[in-house]
Amino acid sequence: MLECLLTPPSKAPLVIIKGIAGTAKTLFALAAGLDQYASSQKGNTYNKILICRPSVTMDEEIGFLPGNENEKIAPYMRAIKDNVFTIFNMNNKNLSNPSEYKRAENEVEQVFEDDYIKTEALAYQRGRSLNNYYFILDEMQNSTIRQAKACVTRVGRGTKVILLGDPDQIDSPYLDSQTNGLTYASEKMKDSPLCWQVTMKPEECERSPLAEEAAKRM
């Protein structure tokens, strides 16, 4: 997985990573992107880290969300901020202190406010041409075939696009494990020299023993 994520877009412009919940797909994709974005010695030059997720909830509808685009998609991006928080604080032993925890949260918020990591709605990507982006498409098992195709075909020069998801964990009532955008892209791009694919095994779950057991049984 790391080899796929760290290989320059000139060799691996499209990466597809599938696996059960808890196999650190999103965390590794974010960590690799942040590392390359921050380092000028890697040979990769990304102007922006862009993250999109389908606006799909787990069964329960939350209704119309007021506000501008960022405010509307903010609830769907909480998992992204959780992962950035984990990356930034892996060695922080002071998080039990409320003031230190708040400082760590503010550091994460600042990264998004300064647009080091930009989050956008999946629905607004059509018609764009993205050059020199590190482009993460998360939870793509909840995307349609048309959405997946539209997003992958936005990729311009110097852009690397990463599709992440678990085909067996679908929240949209209109999709299944075979008709979602992630599975479609994986099948259609199989054997393409421009697409590198990895499937994580259930025993590679890093979240917790319970998460691994539940993913297998439920």
Task: Say how far apart CA 92 and CA 94 lie, in whole Å.
Answer: 6
Give 6-42 as a DSSP string.
HS-TTT-SEEEEE--TTS-HHHHHHHHHHHHHH-SSS
Task: Say how far apart CA 48 and CA 133 lie, in whole Å.
Answer: 5
Model pLDDT for residues 106-130, shown as the tens digit of each residue: 999 999 988 889 888 887 777 788 9
Between 98-113 and 78-88, two packed helices, what is the crossing angle to 10 degrees? Answer: 120
Q: State residue 43's pLDDT score.
A: 61
Task: Say how far apart CA 31 and CA 65 lie, in whole Å.
Answer: 30
Band the pLDDT of 175: cuts 50, 70, 90.
very high
**Cα radius of gyration rounded to whole Å, the chain:** 17
Q: State residue 38's pLDDT score.
A: 84
Model pLDDT for residues 176-212, shown as the tens digit of each residue: 999 999 999 999 999 999 999 999 998 888 888 888 8
